[in-house]
Structure 1
Amino acid sequence: MHNEKVASNRFLVSKIVEAIKFCGTFELALRGHDESENSENPGIFQGLINYTAEIDKTLKDHLERATVFKGTSKEIQNDLLDCIFEVYQEIVSAEIDNAEFLGIMADETTDVSSKLQTVLIFRYCKDGKPVERFWEFFKSEQQTAEVLSNLILKALEPLVAKNPNKLIAQSYDGAAVMSGKQSGVQARIKEKYPVAHFVHCYAHQLNLIMSQASSQNNDVRLFFGNLSEIPAFFSNSCQRVAFLDRIVKRKIPRSVPTRWNFKSRTVNVVFEYKEELIECMEEIEESPGVNVSTKTQAGAIRRLLQEKSFVFWLTFFHYVMPHVDIFFNELQRRLIDSVQIGKCLKKFKESISNIRNEKLYDILNEAKALQVTETKRRKLNEDTWRASAIEVCDVIINVAEDRFAYTDQLNAANLFICERFELYDRSFPDDYFKRTIESYPMLEKNRLKTELTLLYSSAEYRTFSSCAVLLSFIIDSNLQEVFTETIKLLNILVTMPMTTVEAERNFSSLKRIKTFLRSTMSQDRLNALACLSIEQKLIRSIPDFNEKVIDKFALKKDRRIDLVFKRK
């Protein structure tokens, strides 16, 4: 009789857990303005419970008759959210225990309540494939290397303390507080975990490359400065936007200083709708209901869009931007590894070189064709434009080569570039091999060299596009015992995070979860709701997740409801 009552109670609590999971998954506020029975705005959670009760008689009877434990109070919500997050972290901890190596990513942002939030993400291999898991948002009062490294080390301690060599990589942006060689976060963590090599996020590096290329030449700096004025003109005026919507029928995206892909969108939209924008500015100038200041700015932008130098650089960067966007999108993929980045970099440099050597003449002719009128400004020599464009291309190629070069621990990626396997078969890459062993002393040197020699000699391994694909093939072919050290090195390369893009995705979730109306949310509640949103796929894949949450909920404190079965 007791166990039947427990089963019924657990069913009811499971329905409540499902309502919480639904709100968390879709980043909805659980609580409303007034959660009383007669409230017209009880909140989404209470609304879900009431809706479920309408189609589930058992839950409806419970809600109507319960006098001790109803299960819908904010205290119960918080307890269940705590249990959900604890169960989630236990699942991730178990996955990390089964993984051979671990990489970490971290980044900081300011939330809606102006509090500094640092997100920690773990990357490891599961069944031969890399996965990235959200771990936690940390709230820190100071943005110092000491504070941030202590927070990260505290989270790492129970996971890798028994095996310091398990942590093989850490990836952050290029800020001094994170990447400083002497006292940055990466240096402090490497003191305790000696093979936790630092990787500067490659997506951030691409932004730095393009920023450096756009600042080398005064004409280019002037072009991007003028370009930013166009979206700024429409940013805070409904009257101007009305003209834009009626004539251009397209929003002008604003550029962001730290995100080059936003500048790319601005370039492409202005290029594609240049004629419509000129028409829009002319109509604003001629409209009697527009003030003088707006007319003056509209006239300046119209003349800018007709100016020869601006049109040339707009056309030039319209050709360059698609290749930057393709490379940036590749860097944003979760499963990308160092070998794939090398191949993407090669294609990117080839594309920019092609523009430099083959396309500039066509770009000049296209810019001439797009020019509306001859301006009175000083006529610039086309040779000057061509020389400046070549300089920009050279800076992009050379800086990309320098920033994306495989150094130290990343030299290991050179051992698995399949296009070179035939060459390696004739002449073993001793230099790359030596540096790899220096970076990862846990590898068995002689056995690894024997395995790599066998790998290079076989033609069937010369067609794989990445370390992850090669690793999956070896595992699927049951060759783990043949390539034990090779698998270990492939695991290292696949585990190594090359970008912190996942942190940016987590920050997007943070902005949707912690909003202006929920700015006082506690850190525990934030983390629980964040894991429900960010890791919803993992949580849905665990069939007994609710049962584990209820078990923990029952043991958290003395409940006025029976939730624990008695053994017969």
Structure 2
Amino acid sequence: MTAVVRFVTVSKNTVEICEHFIGFVVVDDTTGKGLYETLLDILKSTNLELNNCRGQGYDNGSNMKGKNSGVQARILKDNKRAFFVSCSCHNLNLVVSDAGHSSVTAELFFGVLQRLFAVFAASTQRWQILKEHVNISLKSLPETRWEGKINAVKAVRFQIAEIRDALQELCRMSQGKDAKLRSELRGLCFEIESLSFLIRLVVWYDVLQVINKISKALQCPKVDLHTAMNMIDGALLQLQTFRESGFETCIATAKKMAEKLDISQTLPESRTPRTRRFFDYESQHDERPSDPMKRLEIEFFNKLCDIAISSLRERFEMTQNVCEPFSIIRNSDNFMRLDRTQILTKSKALENYLTGEDENSDIDGRELAEELESSKAYFVAAGMTDLSALVMISHIIDKGLDEIYPNFTVTLRIFLTLPVTSASGERTFSKLKLIKTYLRSTMCQDRLNGLAAMSIEHGICNELNFSDIIASFANKKSRKVPL
């Protein structure tokens, strides 16, 4: 188990969102209770109080995010202000996974891509033939990272003709040698030379491109929930627009690719009843459109887009609920558009939201409303409108206004502290693979955490004065008796 702490620090009149590695812990009990007790031990060993926690974020494991016995539920019982935010990158990954299982046609597409990679990666000679034809090599499909499949899709999307040529050359070389390989190669050529495959290739690339870009952007530690939700809303709008008019564009692109491959630009008119049942076993009776293009749109494209849109809304509903009480300060445009009564109402609601079990709140709602009213005029006079939470608090600290707007500053810091993803924790595991190799299999836990901290927090490590550290170490370990 890895632990990472996120906080907002103010130094030299600058505001910075920081995420720092605490350490690795060996976990024997992986249940919600066991992980919860381990987390409490970590906080105790680092002199961190659970009551001071204002956010918690994990992956989507049931033992972590479980509503009843998960770690987040147990922590919320002790501190209801430790708001749980599910990892946005994991949620986006599950959105693509849901879309990938929307229909049989969608699932079989990735099977063809994996077969393409497997047939060339089976030997160095085949891989050399592939490299002679393409600039971007084929990629294996990740088992869990669905948005990462865009690398495999991209390699085929823009090099379909070159890959076809490599398959044909390999097929000629295997003539009279390996009948099984020759049969597989001809089958792959038949698959990728169909207009149906080209349409699915273009559709999947467009969908994965939207999700993958947002997933990469959200992995930055300095991203806040306001920026994250804006990105998610943008992705939702893109998918909705794609659902309405994207299929015709994909068909036009696929036909241009088909023209380049010199293959048919139409879909087969019909299939035999037995084959139709194989490709569409969900249908109980044959009421599908007779037009094969319309059938592909309904059974593949519409299903994929509808499930992706509904999954995107459902999986980020919890994050939206956490952000809702902070809506008044998510950007300056929110409270600038409200009148005094509305600001007071929302400020009081936020005060209640930030009230703990001891009936003490982090802010005073009435004073926050007064500060927002005052800062409204200040931001307008300064020509600053529609600002993010990070920009607002950076300006307040830079101008020395934090004593004038204490409740506003505290509220902004709490909001920026809320985690967006667990990407920093995932990165620490990547470092763990590099540090604890088979050559260091007997390394003790303290040494592992020390080496990991030096590697992960290398920015802080580079600022240390090693001469002083060496001198201090030498004094402690010296066996000479001072005279």
**TM-score, normalization by structure 2:** 0.84
> CA contact under 8 A between 1:149 and 1:189: conserved in structure 2?
yes
Give the corresponding residue for 1:523: 445
Give the corresponding residue for 1:241: 127
Q: Deviations over 1:222-246 (max 9, x none)?
A: 2223323222333342232122122
Q: Deviations over 1:272-307 (max 9, x none)?
A: 111111111111111047523322222221111112
Give the corresponding residue for 1:411: 324
Q: Deviations over 1:316-373 (max 9, x none)?
A: 1222222222211111111000111122122222222332233321211221232242
Instruction: Select 1:506's aligned residue among 405, 416, 428.
Output: 428
Q: Deviations over 1:230-276 (max 9, x none)?
A: 22333342232122122224321112132123211111111111111
> CA contact under 8 A between 2:133 and 2:165: conserved in structure 1?
yes
Give the corresponding residue for 2:226: 339
Among the aligned pairs, what percent are the same residue? 26
Give the corresponding residue for 1:385: 296
Instruction: Select 1:363's aligned residue among 250, 255, 275.
Output: 250
Equivalent residues in 2 for 1:144-183, closer than 5 Å: 144-159=31-46, 164-183=50-69
Give the corresponding residue for 1:402: 314
> CA contact under 8 A between 1:509 and 1:530: conserved in structure 2?
yes
Name the CA distance, whole Å, in 1 between partners of 2:227 and 2:268: 50
Q: Deviations over 1:372-392 (max 9, x none)?
A: 424868476212233332332
Q: Deviations over 1:396-438 (max 9, x none)?
A: 2332233223444322442223343442247726775455333
> CA contact under 8 A between 1:223 and 1:313: conserved in structure 2?
yes
Equivalent residues in 2 for 1:3-42, closer than 5 Å: none
Give the corresponding residue for 1:420: 334
Name the CA distance, whole Å, in 1 between partners of 2:365 and 2:452: 43
Matched, 1:226 2:112: yes
2:227 counterpart letter in structure 1: Q
> CA contact under 8 A between 2:371 and 2:405: conserved in structure 1?
yes
> CA contact under 8 A between 2:343 and 2:369: conserved in structure 1?
no
Q: Deviations over 1:34-83 (max 9, x none)?
A: xxxxxxxxxxxxxxxxxxxxxxxxxxxxxxxxxxxxxxxxxxxxxxxxxx
SS of 2:84's partner is strand
> CA contact under 8 A between 2:56 and 2:84: conserved in structure 1?
yes
Matched, 1:463 2:385: yes
In 2 relative to 1, CA 561–214 (structure 1 residues): closer, same or farther, beyond 3 Å?
A: farther
In 2 relative to 1, CA 348–376 (structure 1 residues): closer, same or farther, beyond 3 Å?
A: closer
1:125 counterpart letter in structure 2: V
Equivalent residues in 2 for 1:161-560, closer than 5 Å: 164-288=50-174, 291-371=178-258, 372=261, 373-374=263-264, 378=270, 381-387=292-298, 388-405=300-317, 406-415=319-328, 416-425=330-339, 428=342, 433=347, 435-441=349-355, 442=361, 443-457=363-377, 458-459=379-380, 460=382, 463=385, 465-542=387-464, 544=465, 546-548=467-469, 550-551=471-472, 554-555=475-476, 559-560=478-479
In 2 relative to 1, CA 140–321 (structure 1 residues): closer, same or farther, beyond 3 Å?
A: same
In 2 relative to 1, CA 120–545 (structure 1 residues): closer, same or farther, beyond 3 Å?
A: farther
> CA contact under 8 A between 1:339 and 1:413: conserved in structure 2?
no
> CA contact under 8 A between 2:43 and 2:50: conserved in structure 1?
no
> CA contact under 8 A between 2:55 and 2:419: conserved in structure 1?
yes
Name the CA distance, whole Å, in 1 between partners of 2:385 and 2:172: 63
In 2 relative to 1, CA 465–394 (structure 1 residues): closer, same or farther, beyond 3 Å?
A: farther
Runs of 4+ off more than 6 Å:
none
Deviation at 1:439, TM superposition (A): 2.8
> CA contact under 8 A between 2:269 and 2:292: conserved in structure 1?
no
Q: Deviations over 1:196-243 (max 9, x none)?
A: 121110010000111112212222122223323222333342232122
In 2 relative to 1, CA 158–507 (structure 1 residues): closer, same or farther, beyond 3 Å?
A: closer
In 2 relative to 1, CA 313–559 (structure 1 residues): closer, same or farther, beyond 3 Å?
A: same
Structure 2 spans left out of the alignment, 5+ residues: 272-290, 356-360
> CA contact under 8 A between 1:153 and 1:189: conserved in structure 2?
no
Name the CA distance, whole Å, in 1 between partners of 2:474 and 2:339: 59
SS of 2:220's partner is coil
Deviation at 1:159, TM superposition (A): 4.7
Matched, 1:121 2:4: yes
SS of 1:251's partner is coil
> CA contact under 8 A between 1:145 and 1:177: conserved in structure 2?
yes
In 2 relative to 1, CA 546–235 (structure 1 residues): closer, same or farther, beyond 3 Å?
A: farther
In 2 relative to 1, CA 561–346 (structure 1 residues): closer, same or farther, beyond 3 Å?
A: farther
In 2 relative to 1, CA 427–381 (structure 1 residues): closer, same or farther, beyond 3 Å?
A: farther
2:138 counterpart letter in structure 1: I
> CA contact under 8 A between 2:335 and 2:372: conserved in structure 1?
no
Name the CA distance, whole Å, in 2 between partners of 1:125 and 1:331: 17
> CA contact under 8 A between 2:85 and 2:322: conserved in structure 1?
no
Name the CA distance, whole Å, in 2 between partners of 1:552 and 1:369: 70
> CA contact under 8 A between 1:311 and 1:370: conserved in structure 2?
yes
> CA contact under 8 A between 1:413 and 1:493: conserved in structure 2?
yes
SS of 1:363's partner is helix
Using the TM superposition, name which of 118-127 and 509-518 deviates more. 509-518
Deviation at 1:125, TM superposition (A): 1.3
Deviation at 1:452, TM superposition (A): 2.4
1:301 counterpart letter in structure 2: L
> CA contact under 8 A between 1:331 and 1:341: conserved in structure 2?
yes
2:371 counterpart letter in structure 1: E
Name the CA distance, whole Å, in 2 between partners of 1:505 and 1:134: 10
Name the CA distance, whole Å, in 1 between partners of 2:104 and 2:344: 45
Provide the aligned length of Structure 1 versus Structure 2: 443
2:338 counterpart letter in structure 1: Y
2:110 counterpart letter in structure 1: F
SS of 1:171's partner is coil
In 2 relative to 1, CA 202–553 (structure 1 residues): closer, same or farther, beyond 3 Å?
A: farther
> CA contact under 8 A between 1:203 and 1:499: conserved in structure 2?
yes
Name the CA distance, whole Å, in 2 between partners of 1:195 and 1:129: 22
